Amino acid sequence: MTHRPAAELIALMGSALERAAAQIGDLTRPVLDRVYRRHPEAADAFVRLSSGTITELEGRMVETTLFCLTKWIEEQAMVEIIIHDSLPHHAMTLGIDPVLFQSLAEETADIIIATIPADRGDEREAWVQVRLGLIGAMAKARASPMLARVAR
């Protein structure tokens, strides 16, 4: 993988995100459709947990995930803290399987990656790198002793 300065990676991510937004609009529905196709039980979690409307909670979680992906390069430590706090909270307090948590992040990144044209390998590399970073942070959080204590 090519090593690029942070500012360049951020710019590459930004142009891919703009293109995805222009092509798809709000990412919430297509992301959640993909998550529900993979894990039908995830829909029950959103129904059970939303205090307002389901779409509001779905939208907020996709937005939070996008925030984590787009801040990964410049604020990695902050994003790691968010994941290390929120993944166990989602698992232990909200009863959300970490696999579902992680697939929301995978599908959010993948829907953007799917819109990158073949001749923009640089944008693809930037998004794949950040996707790997965020999913890696989730894998670490899943392995934390706190979570292992309550794991089935």
Positions in the binding site for ligand HEM (CB under 6 A): 42, 45-46, 49, 57, 60-61, 64-65, 68, 82, 86, 90, 94, 96, 100-101, 104-105
What is the spatial distance between Cα 132 and Cα 114, in angstroms, rounded to a whole number? 16
Shortest separation between residue 146's beta carbon and ligand HEM, angstroms: 16
Amino acid at 20: A
Shortest separation between residue 4's beta carbon and ligand HEM, angstroms: 24
* Nearest CB to ligand HEM, comparing residues 18 and 41: 41
- Residue nearest ligand HEM (C-beta atom): 49
Tokens of 129: 């790198």
Amino acid at 116: I
Shortest separation between residue 84's beta carbon and ligand HEM, angstroms: 11
Shortest separation between residue 118's beta carbon and ligand HEM, angstroms: 29
Q: What angle, rounded to 10 degrees, do the helices at 98-113 and 41-49 form?
A: 110
Secondary structure of residue 96 in the 3-state scheme: coil
* Nearest CB to ligand HEM, comparing residues 2 and 53: 53
Is the distance from CB of 126 to CB of 13 less than 8 angstroms?
A: yes
